[in-house]
Structure 1
């Protein structure tokens, strides 16, 4: 991987992390199109560690929310529990699927079809303030978030849909998804870094520079993406994202089934 590739992947991460289109799926696809082996050890580390920049963007944009009552943090902890349990139990399977373009494309397609109908499915929301979510509802959202362990599903889409299913408005569900992303993504990144360290992998100076550039670019791009997404989602809903996912999924599957391979080793 070179710095140009790191910048491109940083842009992809910043644009897609908080949109319901799957940032991991797009990073895997982007890596393949750039000729980067998504199963390479450092590339897998990069795909996870680059999330630190986008985590910081949420903290910066919603700074005041992270200095409220302890109940706010307790709810995030409760919502994290399912991901911690499932992530611990199925870590090997998750890592195995991480480099699969076929799984990403299928998840994008199926998830896109779901998004076409999601606005009609969950009507009459009762809560417009994310902070007011109840503990039991936060836990259910956390269960929904676990679907994102399948590459291409989208953590954002799964947790937002979970919030809407628990009677949050689109805006409140999206904001709670953003808040939940901070401890969830930080924990996943820390766990991945620790695993690599235990395996004896050490990041060299060049790789450290790539991580720094990717995170910086992801942070800046995510700032603008989050603001735009909230405005668009509140007014228009999920249909456009569903159509986009279907188009991308179909194109990739057609490319694969035609006998070509996106995984350029």
Structure 2
């Protein structure tokens, strides 16, 4: 993987991490189109640069992280389901990450769902007791966490699944999106930590020492990738929240169907889009 490829992947990650279009799916597609070889490092890179993107949440919403301890407990409750699913299905999830076909199918299916989300959850129904719902209860946080588990399938979109989970609990569009952002922090941090540990264990079995785990170029690619993803995501968060609060999710549904449809067409024409 070259530096420009690493930077392009980081831009894609920053743009799509918090949009309901599947950041992992888009990075898999981008990797396939660029012909990036699927090595242990490139797979790790796709996960680790998500740390840069989610750090932007802390910067944009730093005041929210000084709320009551109750805020962190709700995040923990919402985070627990993905921990269980991730540990039980990691090998299967890793296998799916190499399939552009799975991504294409899930983009289309998710796109169809997003076409109807605004109709299913209109703004006027997103209230309880006559007031807009901006904070989930513990039970609601757990249910949102269950929805997040759907996103272990590449192309589903963690953001979309979590936001829809929030809407089912009558959160406003803005509140559902923001809770999805907050939940991304423990989720993606844990995913990156697990992948880093697996990468280290694999290297150790091959007799590679900790100091030789990454080459100088790989370290620089990880650093640059995280910085680029952070800056791009910083801009994407604000634009997305304002857009979805005003216009809803239909445009993202149309986008997903178009991209997924094009990919399925290319695959049907037997154009190789698998990671090489």
Q: Distance in 1 between matches of 2:156 and 2:54?
A: 19
Deviations 1:219-264 (A, max 9, x none): 0000100000001000100000000000000000000111111135
Report the counterpart of residue 211 of structure 1 in structure 2: 222
Provide runs of 4+ in structure 1 moved above 3 Å: 127-130
Does the 8 Å CA contact 2:126/2:133 hold for their aligned counterparts? no
Say if 1:153 and 1:264 are closer, same or farther in 2 by CA, change over 3 A: closer
Q: What number of residue pairs does the alignment pair up?
A: 263
Q: Residue 195 of structure 2 is aligned with which of 192, 195, 213?
A: 192
Following the alignment from structure 2 to structure 1, what is the Cα–Cα distance between the partners of residues 15 and 176? 19
How far does residue 91 in structure 1 lie from its aligned partner after superposition? 0.5
Are 2:182 and 1:183 aligned?
no
- Provide structure 2 residue ranges, at least 5 long, that are not aligned to the other structure: 205-212
Distance in 2, matches of 1:114 and 1:192, equals 31
RMSD: 1.1
Q: What are the superposed Cα offsets for residues 49-92 of structure 1, whole Å, 9 maximum, x if unpaired?
A: 01010111000000011111110000000000100000010010
Q: TM-score if structure 1 supplies the norm length?
A: 0.97
1:214-225 matches, within 5 Å, as: 214-225=225-236
- 1:62, 1:187 → 2: CA distance? 20
TM-score normalised to structure 2 length: 0.93
Q: Distance in 2 between matches of 1:120 and 1:194?
A: 43
**Highest Rg: 1 or 2?**
2
TM-fit CA distance, 1:129: 5.5
1:231 maps to 2:231: no
- In the alignment, the residues of structure 1 paired with residue 60 and residue 33 of structure 2 have an alpha-carbon distance, to the nearest angstrom, of 32
The question of whether the paired residues in 1 share the 8 Å contact of 2:107 and 2:156 is answered with: yes
**Unaligned residue ranges in structure 1 (runs of 5+):** none
Q: Per-residue CA shift, 1:106-128, capped at 9, x if unaligned?
A: 00000000000011112301164
Query: After superposition, where does 1:6-155 map in structure 2 within 5 Å?
Result: 6-37=6-37, 39-123=38-122, 124-126=125-127, 128=132, 130=134, 132-155=135-158
